[in-house]
Structure 1
């Protein structure tokens, strides 16, 4: 029983004006009217995110201090033990209720209560284990996470619990149920059966053993995929040795060096870094073999059939048909891209060879520069974090009548000294100001603390508070580098008719501000922020009956739809004009620069889509029933799939797949990116392309899609919303329209 579902979260950071900054403003008074206008015209939200964080005299609050995320138990790390014990006791009571013939509520309600009880500790503990800088907290959180995980494993083998749920799913509950009740109950049952509890004892034990082996193999494969590669210096031409790290008599290659100007450097890095590794090949083969065995024992044709169950795609057959159609559609367009890259290569190098895989990232970057003549330095001043957050809030007001408001954190609420506040969703007409600075008792001992992230509350005009987004946006030593979204507490309908407000954390790695300059973002960072905010909004705007299916707790190929849709908003010229403003003057981005930026994001879009199609098809082939020929290696499969689905041929004696860590986390699900993009493109084209600020369309999208989370079968729900069945053909049609739009944008802009 997968009571603990994979979740994401969002972190961002906000700053406040400090005494030092106030002093600088006084010194600069009278310099220009523009400076004064800049200081006075930014919204409170933008000002908070653009200000350099304060060095506050914070307290070791002995009175009135709350704990992490406002939980009084977590005022000290030992509170995790209390949370864990309380969760275990409540879980025991709920299991007894599930198994009782005198049960007084629906089975699915009790199961969701059990899921919520465990997730509220496990999700919180897992985040703190990863994010908290103090060992005492991270160790206590890890202990709680392990304990809850152990309890879940016990429940996975609880036969009476499983039989009680199975009886309800097969024959109906003793209480009246709805379609949502039955759908969620089936999800619980499927999660249960993934552990093999429905099998005889010998097979069930084998499934447990295989699961453990899969986890271990995956961890080792991931570690190996990140390892650098060393070779003797004498094997490389002397002219390029200095481009790599040197360790004694060895050259150390740490990546693909895709930006290197010299082709021989890119080629050397590609062939050395991706050289076949016997141990990695063994790990991947064993991982795939055990996944296949586990799936077949549990009654599936392949691991791919197991992975896509209850997804938007629903079956590997639809996935394969979709990928084949995309490949056919995109091949001529990608060929044009490669032809243009090859022409650029011949112009740049006197004695050039055919275009190779190591050339593609380099010439994609070169094309953006040559076609649009702009640099990061031209764009960055228009994308201060405060301006982008202000634009996001404005967009949400237009679409959903929702706004983001900064809230001051309570003492002890945050997990590190570089998270400032939280964001809340407030009703648009309501004016919310920042709380006054925290006050401390005069005799309380204090520590100097830097607060560099913010909390936002999210509220709707009619519905009130929707939830909280903790924003941890800035890079720092020891912080994980991936941008992601964590669910700390899922939303759900409570017995008294109220709603359990969701809590999420947005976790980004943006450049920190200085005293004179706010955090300035690249266009890629802006897209990432909008993307992760899309996940957060899925959690905030959902109003599900059960937390097991709230927000992003749905299939991977559907969970990415809201976040990819937000990328369309982020780079739409009409939306960009509302927030791309110079951080010093407040002047909007010039139209010419804006047009170049938008067009640059579409350069060689077809070849990029072909690459994603190749990755997805390789992942499907590895996890299908076709894979299992003991004489075939994963590299031989790679060669065959690349030559069939990618426009550039396989490079002999390379093994790119042994560096592809997504095979572990997204096994048989890597296709989800393309399917999600197709559906997001379709939604954009049908509802928002004419007016990205439409309240009518925004509320329809929320009401018919976002509000349900994973509470409805995603394919049927999306098809009903779009007014057409979701098929491989209809999704490819949406992608084709998107590609045509991008191509036209590039051609129009370069012709000016």
Structure 2
């Protein structure tokens, strides 16, 4: 049979794909890619930028596309068969990556170009590609002994499998838990929409009553509104103990092995630890700089956090006589305090944030800023019936990108929200290849009587992931290796986080915040309440994020080989940030997918780092107008379109006219005057 993955295709041929197609496609694509690499390494012509460095960046295009399709499915529409196949394929890809970086002939040619090319003959993008290719090889074992190269191969192959297993365990733990309720009294406090969604879920599982799960659209409202404290505790302990049960899905030994292997790998390559290895190619250049940054934020946020916690404790005592707040009380009493303090119930907002209308409004925001137009195209194939696809055009009507959107939780889809790509942007041979990007979320589902009505947090999440998508869609570079989101990790969150700011602006909200039944624009008083609550408990939120970053650095900024007790190590790392008693039954590390499965190891700090950038950048928009085309053009020209073609600080200065300043973030968070 013909393999659709090995035939020419533009958009991913999902309707023709069977799981059986993938392994043969990988085998063939790997063979093709190896042949391309060998041709570069064995080229009899003298090494040049074009025949070595540029050629290498374009090599393996078919393999890259197959890889993106397969692993996107493994995240958004997986099953046991795909997961098993991923365990086979990941080591194959790791071995191939090592075959490239440890290829002596290839590195010799790259080194020859690096040391002897006329730099004045290269433009900025070419110079950056040369620098990054040389560093990639030198940082990943090209100059190791044969013995050490073999050990590097073994480490990378093992890590590839361990990270997949870690994620599979978290997904299975998330999906196996359910809170099945049959007593209507247990639903006290829950809004009607949450009750209806839980009833629909129970019916879909052949059960009477109501079912709640650890998926965010089910879990978060339950923790915010359920009056039954024991049931909130049950949910919180289940959520906080994923991968921490001492059973077949326990992730402790896996994460210890991952941390130790990363440390061994860094030492093998001549670095003090994994964080030193990672941060060499970040805006924050060292663990010391990251730690100093986090300490400065913590010093500003901790006094505010303690004041906020005292206020919350007093509120809980006054409302219910509760003498000690626990983790499962935080969201519940915070929501009640916010309602009383600002006269704002999140349920008041949801009718104004119907998903389809928010989506169209978000497109209009992008149109006002960047001249983009989005047209739905139901003829483009998708991997699930819920996925929508849009053709994107610029202000001149030129095709710019394909945009996929997948919004709701379901079995086989991991939790959270992310942006990904099916095809990179690049230019070659006079042709401009446009990108295919996707966002995947887990938002509130429609029910039998209600459309999908988003919480305000879900609205900001949608804009966040769309910011990543814009970074991919508006890419305008020559080389795929520098395109779109191929930037320093602590810079990649700037385009996403800045887009969240428009969700708080009346001028933007008027475009999409309309009542799903009446079409009424969200009242100005509700907008003011949204803005007033924007930094509600920001001290506690900042401390929470800093604690996650400190935990990341505790695993990757030192020597983990002596760590045997995951819980104790976590407690030590986060001790200075704890605001609530830590239950013995819970532990974050075994489900901390960002750092043990995703790409955030030694990089979780980048969320707060990028907040400094986004607050400072949006202050520029606020000064000139949130839809000011001159500022938007500068942002597109110097940030969104340039990818990783230049040093990110240079790009930022070109956009802003100066380096970013921390005060913009502290002012937005209400922490500017906080005592240290």
- Under TM normalisation by the shorter chain, which class is it? 0.7 to 0.9
CA contact (8 A) 1:557 1:672 kept: yes
Deviates more, 1:254-263 or 1:93-102: 254-263
Q: Which residue of structure 2 lines up, in the alignment, with residue 604 of structure 1? A: 537
Q: Which residue of structure 1 lines up, in the alignment, with residue 371 of structure 2? A: 401
CA contact (8 A) 1:106 1:173 kept: no
Equivalences for residues 409-428 of structure 1 within 5 A? 409-410=379-380, 413-419=381-387
Determine whether 1:641 maps to 2:573: yes
Give the CA deviation at 1:736. 0.7
Give the CA deviation at 1:616. 0.6
Equivalences for residues 662-673 of structure 1 within 5 A? 662-664=594-596, 665=598, 666-673=600-607
Equivalences for residues 374-393 of structure 1 within 5 A? 374-393=344-363
Alpha-carbon distance change, 147 to 212 in structure 1, aligned in 2, over 3 angstroms: closer
Measure, in 1, the Cα distance between the counterparts of 2:39 and 2:62. Answer: 15
Alpha-carbon distance change, 612 to 367 in structure 1, aligned in 2, over 3 angstroms: same
CA contact (8 A) 1:67 1:75 kept: no
Question: SS of the counterpart of 1:457?
Answer: strand
Larger-Rg structure? 1
Determine whether 1:170 maps to 2:115: yes
Alpha-carbon distance change, 715 to 621 in structure 1, aligned in 2, over 3 angstroms: farther
Give the CA deviation at 1:509. 3.4
Determine whether 1:320 maps to 2:291: yes
Give the CA deviation at 1:698. 0.3
Alpha-carbon distance change, 135 to 289 in structure 1, aligned in 2, over 3 angstroms: closer
Equivalences for residues 51-70 of structure 1 within 5 A? 70=11
CA contact (8 A) 1:91 1:117 kept: no
Q: Which residue of structure 1 lines up, in the alignment, with residue 467 of structure 2? A: 534
Alpha-carbon distance change, 115 to 689 in structure 1, aligned in 2, over 3 angstroms: farther
Q: Which residue of structure 2 lines up, in the alignment, with residue 330 of structure 1? A: 301
Measure, in 1, the Cα distance between the counterparts of 2:83 and 2:273. Answer: 38
Measure, in 1, the Cα distance between the counterparts of 2:76 and 2:309. Answer: 42
Equivalences for residues 159-238 of structure 1 within 5 A? 159-172=104-117, 176-222=121-167, 227=173
Measure, in 1, the Cα distance between the counterparts of 2:167 and 2:89. Answer: 25
Alpha-carbon deviations, 1:471-502, whole Å to 9, x = none? 33344454444322220110012221x31111
Q: Which residue of structure 1 lines up, in the alignment, with residue 181 of structure 2? A: none
Question: SS of the counterpart of 1:415?
Answer: coil
Equivalent position to 1:365, from 323, 330, 335: 335
Equivalences for residues 437-448 of structure 1 within 5 A? none
Give the CA deviation at 1:326. 0.4
Q: Which residue of structure 1 lines up, in the alignment, with residue 642 of structure 2? A: 708
Deviates more, 1:459-468 or 1:644-653: 644-653
Equivalences for residues 121-136 of structure 1 within 5 A? 121-128=66-73, 131=76
When normalised by structure 2's length, the TM-score is 0.80
When normalised by structure 1's length, the TM-score is 0.73
Alpha-carbon deviations, 1:37-78, whole Å to 9, x = none? xxxxxxxxxxxxxxxxxxxxxxxxxxxxx9975467984658
Measure, in 1, the Cα distance between the counterparts of 2:582 and 2:449. Answer: 50
**Which consecutive residues of structure 2, in runs of 5 or more, have no partner in the other structure?**
1-6, 177-184, 187-211
Give the CA deviation at 1:308. 2.0
CA contact (8 A) 2:498 2:614 kept: yes
Question: SS of the counterpart of 1:578?
Answer: coil
Measure, in 1, the Cα distance between the counterparts of 2:51 and 2:313. Answer: 64
**Which consecutive residues of structure 1, in runs of 5 or more, have no partner in the other structure?**
1-65, 231-238, 241-251, 420-452, 745-752
Alpha-carbon deviations, 1:237-295, whole Å to 9, x = none? xx99xxxxxxxxxxx99899845545566567767876876765444333322221110
Determine whether 1:584 maps to 2:514: no
CA contact (8 A) 2:369 2:632 kept: yes
Equivalences for residues 82-161 of structure 1 within 5 A? 85=28, 88-89=31-32, 91-102=34-45, 105-128=50-73, 131=76, 151-161=96-106
Measure, in 1, the Cα distance between the counterparts of 2:234 and 2:82. Answer: 45
Alpha-carbon deviations, 1:358-411, whole Å to 9, x = none? 43233222223323444454323322223212212221222112222223415x
